[in-house]
Structure 1
Amino acid sequence: MSDFYQKGVISTLHNLTDRSVEDLEQDLITFSQTRPISLVLPSLFSELEGPALQHIVDELSQVPYLAEITIGLDQANKEQFEYAKNYFSKLPQRHRILWNEGPRMQALDQELKDKNISPRELGKGRNVWFCFGYTLSSRRAEVVGLHDCDILTYDRKMLARLLYPVANPNFSYVFAKGFYPRINQGKLSGRVTRLLVTPLLHALKKVCGDNDYITYLDSFRYPLAGEFAMRASVVSDIRIPSDWGLEIGVLSEVRRNYSTKVIAQVDIADQYDHKHQIMSEEDATKGLSRMSIDISKAIFRKLATDGEIFSLEKFRTVKATYYRTALDLIENYHNDAMMNGLVVDRHEEEQAVELFAQNIMEAGQVFLEYPQEVPFIPSWSRVNSAMPGFLSRLNKAVEEDNA
């Protein structure tokens, strides 16, 4: 059970009383009468064959307040798409599947490419972006939630707590980020947040000085959580990265467009476990190695847009400061785990820090060498301006695929 401590520049909403899911859902039913709610589920077809998603679908089947569920389906052929339609058919809510490899969606993507506003690479960011577009075209929701499809410890209370701050018309929040402890099978997880993001932010604060953006990111207890909720109006104007910087990119865009007074984080689970990525020390294009580079680049880019000037020498200083800070934190994590009867392999933790330190430098060098790189997918407001009527065609394509 969480404490009531408020730290940083955003609101933190705790789980103080373990309120029942039925009680939360009763409120959400009332809220949904004036603020209809939808859910976005970005999924790979392979997740339909795993243990997590079936349980998620079973839990969602009991949710009484959702107006619509949008499922983004990646890496699926025609036969697999038909399988997916049957797989999700048990959902009682109105639901639509975006078959991203289908001929209709591919034709629309080609239109975007012709205008040079298509997502530049495949992945979760592209999937989420198209789902957001369909949600806007559907016009059935005032509140949009999103979570991953690989959550092994999922229950519908997690969704209720995530949506509550934005759906409640008595609250002013336009965006809420979920947080939770990363504990599974007696081990302390969450390596990228614990061993990369937190010490990197602390190092940047030492090297760059007080910075509102660093303070903002450091206010989030779990900035890499894939669960967030937002008003539908927020969806139109955010630009999201197509790489592993998605979560950091979304936080950065929300801060760019809104006051921190309307941004919150909410405790959604006492335990959370999902599919674990490999470290991939030998291949920087995969796993946590790729993730650490993309996240570091996302942070450096945002600091640069705030006026921070970077050089190779400054990145060397950031790397050295990060390394010392991360090693000190390992001691804290180890002691915390030991006191709670959890396991932490200190050797593996230090190996991860060594890899992340190298990748921080790699991210810095890429940032300096390719200043013209465009990391963000254009906002849907820009698409509407460049291609009037595109959202209507997107809606029609999805409806025809699902017919």
Structure 2
Amino acid sequence: MDFLQDAITTVHDYGRPDGAIQAHLQSRLRQHPTWVLIPCLFEEFQRPALTLIRDVLREFTGLGGLLIALAAEAPEEVEAARAFFADVPFPVRVLWTNGPAVRELLADVHQRGLDVLGPPGKGWAVWQGLGVASLDAELIALFDADIRTFSPAYPLRMLAPLLEPSDGIAYVKAFYSRLSVEEGRLHGRATRLFVSPVLQSLEQLMGASPFLRYLQSFRYPLAGEFAFTRDLAMNLRIPCDWGLEIGLLSEVYRHVAICRIAQVDLGIFDHKHKAIGAGPDEGLQRMCREILASLLRGLMEHESRALTSEQLSALEVVYRRVAEDRVRQHAFDARLNGLPYDRHGEENAVKDFTALLRPGCTSFMERPSGWRMPSWSRALAFDPGLRETLRDVGSSLATSPAGTPATAAASPAPAPVRRPATRRLRTA
């Protein structure tokens, strides 16, 4: 039995029945308006995972609402998404995040002086969803749309720490065992083979670091499931690349005392898995390069520390050694649990990850400040009614600028906005 606690308060799964806890949670939900936010591509509606999520959430009658931050190609897809959730017992809002009216609105905001034209993807959808959900929600929980093992325990355990204000928790992060449903194979390679060894290597090279220790205290720092209070959500800058999860942890570190953070065990967890990729701009290699930039940026922001050229050379060597040790450990763990394990494939992944360290760090140093969506507190200082306008135009099915607000229609021709159709909304 694992009773371990560290800097981050850890809520373990001890296998106890949760019926009484769930009944208590339902009553608390009615006292604290709570919304679930799901960023989603329309293609997820063709897969069974989203049906499972809908059917599980249907049992949480005390929810204040569900917000689907949807990337869709046509109004018919938005209508189909609305029909899909028509019979749940709480309000459901489908926000067409890449719809013509939303793109026109955000292009107008950009031209008036606030840069909100981030690269389309999960971060962009999360930023829009947080803005709209925060109009009604006191608490917000985020889940992805591709979770194939979604159960009542997921929202129950994610929200419970926030529903007792006397506990003082403002942010909850999930952790879990990444095992595929079909094979029982270990996944989560970006965490197991890259992030965890990189964090350990940086600590060896740079010495004691409160920020690195903070990140290492999370059992699964790349988990895309988290929940927070409205006031925290309103003050987070949202990264729009694969550094989203590390970037959000960096933002939380800036705004919240560690004693107000918790992580919860969701048990076995499975969703879509990502390939390593044939080069540094594909698959997990691209993801890990962007995660590395987010991590290095956090070290600069919080501790004013950067790698020297000598440390970068050492990082390649130390990381390779630490990551190879992890492969050996995972192979041993998998064998004693009767799980299939491709040690050769994992060793090759470590080789690929090692090769991206130097170009990744060099590229980061050329543009260290990066780019994130502005916090909603910043956005409302620019336009106090922006959330309401986004809510209204995001509900529009208009396919031309005629469906956008008058301020947008009267502005100069907007800069082109890239389409988010091909970007996955999920990390590995």
Aligned partner of 1:74 in structure 2 is 71
TM-score, structure 1 as length reference: 0.94
Tell me, yes or no, if the aligned pair for 1:28 and 1:168 is still in contact at 8 Å: no
Structure 2 CA distance for aligned equivalents of residues 167 and 285 of structure 1: 42
- Post-superposition shift, 1:399? 4.6
Aligned twin of 2:2? 3
Does residue 342 of structure 2 align to residue 345 of structure 1?
A: yes
| Cα separation, 2, equivalents of 1:30 and 1:201 | 41
Query: Match of 1:107, SS?
Result: helix
Secondary structure of the residue that 1:90 maps to in structure 2? coil
Asked if structure 2 preserves the Cα contact closer than 8 Å seen for 1:52 and 1:151, the reply is yes
Give deviations 1:185-230, integer Å, cap 9, x for gaps.
2211111110001100000001111100000000000111111110
Instruction: Tell whether the 8 Å contact from 1:96 to 1:398 is kept in structure 2 after alignment.
Output: no
1:143 correspondence with 2:107: no
Q: Specify the alignment match of 1:156 in structure 2.
A: 152
Letter in 1 for 2:269: Y
CA spacing shift, 1:360–1:157, aligned 2, 3 Å: same
Unaligned residue ranges in structure 2 (runs of 5+): 399-428
Q: What CA distance in whole angstroms lies between the structure 1 residues aligned with 2:295 and 2:125?
A: 22
Matches within 5 A, 1:72-151: 72-114=69-111, 115-136=113-134, 138=135, 140-151=136-147
Q: Contact 1:281/1:355 (CA < 8 Å) preserved in 2?
A: no
The one of 207, 216, 220 equivalent to 1:218 is 216
**Aligned counterparts of 2:281 and 2:60: Cα–Cα separation in 1:** 38
Q: CA deviation at 1:401?
A: 5.0
Letter paired with 1:255 = Y
Q: Is the 8 A contact 1:146 1:228 kept in 2?
A: yes
- Deviation of 1:168 (Å): 2.1
CA drift of 1:352 comes to 0.8
| TM-superposed deviation, 1:319 | 1.8
Where 2:86 maps in the other structure, the secondary structure is: helix
2:173–2:223 Cα contact (<8 Å) kept? yes
Give the residue type in structure 2 aligned to 1:395. Answer: R
Alignment partners' CA distance in 1, 2:29 and 2:149:
26
CA contact (8 A) 2:99 2:394 kept: no
Once residues 31 and 327 of structure 2 are traced to their aligned partners in structure 1, the CA distance between those partners, rounded to angstroms, is 47
Aligned to 2:314: 317
- For 2:196 and 2:241, how far apart are their aligned partners in 1? 20
Matched, 1:326 2:323: yes
Aligned-partner Cα distance in 1 for 2:397–2:387: 15
Q: Quick check: 1:304–1:310 contact (8 Å CA) kept in 2?
A: no
8 Å CA contact retained: 1:39, 1:146 = yes
Letter in 1 for 2:317: A
Q: Secondary structure at the match of 2:167?
A: coil
Instruction: Please tell me the residue identity of whatever aligns with 2:200.
Output: H
- Who is 2:254 aligned against? 256
Q: How many residues are matched? A: 394
The one-letter amino acid paired with 2:209 is N
Aligned with residue 380 of structure 2, among 381, 384, 391: 384
Q: How big is the shift at 1:309?
A: 2.5
1:280 CA drift (Å): 0.6
Q: Give the Cα–Cα distance (whole angstroms) in 2 for the partners of residues 211 and 360 of structure 1.
A: 20
Which sits farther off after the overlay, 213-222 or 54-63?
54-63
Give the CA deviation at 1:396.
2.4
How far off is 1:43 after superposition?
A: 0.4
Cα distance in 1 for partners of 2:171, 2:221 equals: 13
For structure 1, list consecutive stretches of 5 or more residues without a partner in the other structure: none
Q: For the aligned residues, what is the CA RMSD?
A: 1.6
For residue 271 of structure 1, give the secondary structure of its aligned residue in structure 2: strand
In the alignment, the residues of structure 1 paired with residue 14 and residue 83 of structure 2 have an alpha-carbon distance, to the nearest angstrom, of 40
Q: How does 1:187-336 map to 2 (within 5 A)?
A: 187-268=185-266, 270-282=267-279, 284-305=280-301, 306-336=303-333
Q: 2:83, 2:72 → 1: CA distance?
A: 17
Residues in 1 aligned to 2:43 and 2:395: alpha-carbon distance in whole angstroms: 23
4+ residue runs over 3 A deviation: 398-402
Identity of aligned residues (%): 35
| 1:4 aligned partner, one-letter code | F
**Aligned-partner Cα distance in 1 for 2:353–2:296:** 15
* Secondary structure in structure 2 of the residue aligned to 1:38: strand
Structure 2 distance, partners of 1:350, 1:375, is: 33
Deviations 1:36-76 (A, max 9, x none): 21100000111111121111111111222210111000143
Letter in 2 for 1:147: F
Normalised by the size of structure 2, how large is the TM-score? Answer: 0.89
